[in-house]
Structure 1
Amino acid sequence: MSPNTARPAATIPDTDMSGLVGWLRTVGVRPEGEIGCSRVGFGQSNLTYVIHDEMGGRWVLRRPPVGHLLASAHDVEREARILAGLAGTDVPVPQIYGVCTDETVSPVPVVAMEFVAGTVLTDRIAGESISPDIRHEVGQSMIDTLAHIHAVDLDAVGLSDLASHKPYAARQLKRWSAQWEQSKSRDIPELDDLTRRLAANIPEQHETALVHGDFHIRNVMIDPTSGAVTAALDWELATLGDPLADIGSTLAYWPAVTDVLLGEPVEIMDGFPTRAELADAYLARTGRDRDALAYWQTLGLWKVAIIAEGVLRRAQDNPANRAAAGVPTPAHVDNFVARAVAVADDAGL
């Protein structure tokens, strides 16, 4: 987690901070003296905080959002299991110290993990701190990191039972259709039509891999001197499935200047690769099927539209879930849907 996204926060919601410090000591984290706490990142799902002590020690804590939680969503214990399993692989992740499940400390689980030095490219100020050449390297390192994720030996890291090995597209359609019905604030007929088109055009799945599920530029930390990814973050949507789904989601999140933009995304700055360049780099790196990618990009845009609607709904329900970058508007959701329709039309889906 990066200090460039820190904001003051006296406490973590609904948490006994004294009890939390006591629990931290049981997992080997020993803050000294008075502690401070800041919320970090622009995420609006699971909430992330940095705690620091008088001696300069820093650690990261994650917990689910405040308020009503959808079934199976925001599972920080599962996320901690994935990160622990990836320790020692080629995938850069923070070390997990433990998960607090003591309800006298917090009514929801709290995960303690390593503070990783680096930069999160959350806005143009962060993007301007690195040169166009380094921006290009960020894109290349993200593709390398995604390829490392998809190459993980599931049996060796103890994650082969993380999720079903049944065809991934059908599982995603079922899960996110249910999420849509539970979290939507309005009807979008175009999204419902996309759901039908995606269900009718599922490509054959040739392999099952670890899938991050939410791999975009704000979910990685980078070394600002080289552009290398130092940590892949926010694994709450990780599962087992078709690896092309991940690059499809990355392309869905990666904006162009013609899109309806939330905030000031760095990806449109000089030096960062375009969506087409990212796709080409991934396919060249992995040798996977170009013909199937359009389907997964469509599904990724459909899924991101549903996620954005859920973020909007949670922020409406409880202002504590709002993040500094702002909240998606109906126009942002509609833009994702329109992009999905355009990709699907071009691919003949």
Structure 2
Amino acid sequence: MSKENPPGLDLGRLGEHLERERPGLVNGPLTAEVVQGGRSNLTYRVTDGTSRWVVRRPPLGHVLATAHDMAREYRVISALHGTDVPVPETLLLCEDAEVVGAPFYVMEHVDGTPYRTAEQLAPLGPERTRRLVLSLPDTLVALHSVDPAAVGLGDFGRPEGFLERQLRRWGKQLDASRNRDLPGIDELHGALAEERPESPEPTIVHGDFRLDNVLASADDRIAAVLDWEMSTLGDPLTDLGLLVMYSERQDMPDSPVSTTAGAPGHPEPAELIERYATLSGRDVSRVNWYTAFAYFKLAVILEGIHYRFTLGQTVGPGFDRIGDLVPVFIDNGLTTLRKG
């Protein structure tokens, strides 16, 4: 922990604001550190030497007004607290950008480990790894069982036409970063649109559900689900498809894309699908479409990162390899979709 202000967080102003809004919460000078991981919003671990909290704010620099919406993320976590979905308790939302330079919110600190790679999982051993990973579909079922209206989220999204809008949105994202030939990408997008399934009843969806977006407790349970910035009301099987994609073994050595598949004891995707189907009672016969759609989305995301790399707009190691991964995700998407 550092007494110096981490990038994007003025600890003095944060402390003053907390004292005004939550008198007695803080008992001493604040120190903080940036929590690594996550693709966009910034996360800080903050302490007064006795208690610990987590602060979330948008990335540094200009972002779209509708992007990185702190109020939205705060709302869904607050609504789910007290349900069977493990989330931190929220403490405060500040939409006044003058306090620390951007809107932010504060939530309780939850002890736990985010496992991002098979190598990190390996020391747990096969039995513990299996138990932890099998808790992922269990948690998805719990999330998708929450009645949105009952927790105040009945207006949290527009579930009608959800998949159609998603396909359109990600197609536009692709066009915005298209600066090279990507064989198969338009075929994949077109086939997804042509074979689009009928969605089941809408639920709250996380939007980026995978092992490294949860905290695992010491006894291999999910202590908290994090990173709700893409959550909405929509098709629950999009969450399952994404989980399946991240649970498949990828033939991409040194890939900067996180995957825990391959760790000893890690369940195969088919077992995760079956567990979700059994516990939820939902028809998962079109799961290959949802998994192919997940491959398409990640291909588009990676191509956007590659595009920014070519423009010199990325900082840090590993970005030079992103462009080589995109064709792999396109091929995997096409192969998955052809399975039916």
Q: Could you state the TM-score of these two structures normalised by the residue count of structure 2?
A: 0.89
* DSSP-derived class of the 2:91 partner: strand
Q: Does 1:267 align with 2:267?
A: no
* DSSP-derived class of the 2:286 partner: helix
Is the deviation greater in 24-33 or in 85-94? 24-33
Pick the aligned partner of 2:124 from 130, 155, 173.
130
Pick the aligned partner of 1:73 from 57, 67, 70.
67
In the TM superposition, what is the alpha-carbon distance from 1:277 to its structure 2 partner? 2.0
Deviations 1:130-164 (A, max 9, x none): 22111101111111100001001111101110110
1:233 alignment partner in structure 2: 226
2:77 alignment partner in structure 1: 83
| Contact 1:45/1:311 (8 A) holds in 2 | no
Relative distance call for 1:208 and 1:48 in structure 2 (3 A) is same
Instruction: Quote the Cα distance in structure 1 between the aligned partners of 2:320 and 2:68.
Output: 18
2:301 alignment partner in structure 1: 307
Is the deviation greater in 308-317 or in 90-99? 308-317
| Contact 1:249/1:300 (8 A) holds in 2 | yes
Is the deviation greater in 279-288 or in 111-120? 279-288
In the TM superposition, what is the alpha-carbon distance from 1:189 to its structure 2 partner? 4.2
Deviations 1:203-256 (A, max 9, x none): 11231111111001100111132x211111101111111111110011122241
Is the deviation greater in 152-161 or in 280-289? 280-289
Relative distance call for 1:327 and 1:267 in structure 2 (3 A) is farther
Relative distance call for 1:166 and 1:199 in structure 2 (3 A) is same
Q: Equivalences for 1:1-349 in 2 at 5 Å?
A: 10-28=4-22, 30-55=25-50, 57-70=51-64, 72-123=66-117, 126-183=120-177, 186-225=180-219, 227-256=220-249, 258-263=251-256, 265-312=259-306, 316-319=312-315, 329-347=322-340
In the TM superposition, what is the alpha-carbon distance from 1:318 to its structure 2 partner? 4.9
Instruction: Quote the Cα distance in structure 2 between the aligned partners of 1:230 and 1:79.
Output: 18
In the TM superposition, what is the alpha-carbon distance from 1:23 to its structure 2 partner? 1.4
Instruction: Quote the Cα distance in structure 2 between the aligned partners of 1:224 and 1:328.
Output: 34
Is the deviation greater in 337-346 or in 10-19? 10-19
Gaps of 5+ in 2: none
* DSSP-derived class of the 1:108 partner: coil
Query: Between Structure 1 and Structure 2, how many residues are aligned?
Result: 336
Amino acid at match of 1:302: F
Deviations 1:90-146 (A, max 9, x none): 000011112222222233211111100111113456424422111101111111100
Relative distance call for 1:142 and 1:276 in structure 2 (3 A) is same
In the TM superposition, what is the alpha-carbon distance from 1:73 to its structure 2 partner? 2.7
| Contact 1:212/1:239 (8 A) holds in 2 | yes
* DSSP-derived class of the 1:289 partner: coil
| Contact 1:76/1:109 (8 A) holds in 2 | yes
* DSSP-derived class of the 1:156 partner: helix
In the TM superposition, what is the alpha-carbon distance from 1:298 to its structure 2 partner? 0.9
Relative distance call for 1:134 and 1:66 in structure 2 (3 A) is same
Instruction: Quote the Cα distance in structure 2 between the aligned partners of 1:300 and 1:342.
Output: 13
Instruction: Quote the Cα distance in structure 1 between the aligned partners of 2:73 and 2:285.
Output: 32
Q: In percent, how many aligned pairs have the same letter?
A: 34
Deviations 1:12-62 (A, max 9, x none): 43443211111122343733333221111321211111012223x211011
Relative distance call for 1:126 and 1:206 in structure 2 (3 A) is closer
Relative distance call for 1:314 and 1:90 in structure 2 (3 A) is farther
Relative distance call for 1:27 and 1:271 in structure 2 (3 A) is farther
Amino acid at match of 1:205: S
Instruction: Quote the Cα distance in structure 1 between the aligned partners of 2:2 and 2:303.
Output: 27
